[in-house]
Amino acid sequence: MNKYKHTLAGLRTLGTAGAAALLAACATTSPESASALDQARTAVNRLEAEPQAAQMAGKPLQDARDALAKAEAAEQQHKPTAEVVHLAYLARRNADIGEAVLAEQSADAQMAQAQADRERILADARAREAARARQQALQAQQAAQASQQQAQTAEQQAQAAQEQARELQQQMADLQAKQTDRGMVLTLGNVLFDTNGDTLKPGADEMIGRLAQFMQSHPDTRVRIEGYTDSTGSDSYNQALSQRRAAAVELALENQGVSAQRLEAVGRGKAAPVASNDSPAGRQQNRRVEIIFSDPHGQFAASNG
């Protein structure tokens, strides 16, 4: 009887110990479950750390969180390892999906940005090309306007030159100057001086005044004043007389305000007669003073030495 009691007590003790061991075994997480949960937590935490996760991958993130919570609850409830591992896999899988969504969104954003950058670069290039074309067109227009203006100016200058030439011709005609191979020549007859004299008569004032007025109207024009005599008298006498008469006209023009630098007095004596010295009328024509005009630039004809 005592032996039976001891045996029963031993069985009871053994049963209690076995139950405790069984409970301890159930309370311990299996390595497979622990590894699956760690991987799931890492994946979910990684997704949560993404700044745009909640906005762009809200559903996969929430699904991953829910699956992880269920896996952790199953582990705490000592449910089978396979269930814990499966729920942890779902959590990790949803986290991976969320990261894939973020990666796709990021790639799309990068592509959109690249496209926007490309379009901006193309737009900038087109804008620069358009600006360059506008600048070239403006320059061409300005060049055309300048050319037109130059043409108009040249035409106006030509018209002004023609008008000046007409006025000059008219003024020369008023002075009774004639065109010769020496240029325009005005002949002042012997009536300006007394016979054998070199002093201008009072009647010469009108002609000298008109000549001075012409010179003042044409400040670039110069004149050469050439005195001539007939063949009466010696060569030296005639040379000196012609020089004095030319000088008298020169002085009269200076007194009328014409610069001496624009005047040149030359005595030619009895050279170059314009008529025969055999008659009084011819000799009177040879006794003269000739005014040779330069061109508007102050140059005399080559034949006028």
Look at the block and give the residue holding tokens 């005399």.
300
Determine the pLDDT at residue 296: 86
- Using one digit for the tens of pLDDT, what is the confidence trace for 73-108? 999 999 999 999 999 899 899 989 989 999 998 898
Mean pLDDT of 2-19: 39
> What's the rounded Cα separation, in Å, for the pair 225 and 200?
14
Cα–Cα distances in angstroms (integers) from residue 19 to residues 6, 25, 27, 150, in the given order: 20, 10, 12, 119
pLDDT classification of 166: cutoffs 50, 70, 90: low
- Using one digit for the tens of pLDDT, what is the confidence trace for 215-235? 999 999 999 999 999 999 899
Is the confidence at residue 158, as pLDDT, over 80? no
- Residue 104 backbone phi and psi in degrees, to 5: -65, -45
Mean pLDDT of 259-271: 94
Most confident of 32-36, 153-157, 196-200, 202-206: 32-36
Which segments of 28-80 does DSSP mark as H helices, in order?
Answer: 31-48, 53-56, 58-76
Determine the pLDDT at residue 17: 40
Is the confidence at residue 195, as pLDDT, over 80? no
Selection from 106, 70, 110, 61 nearest residue 88 by Cα = 70
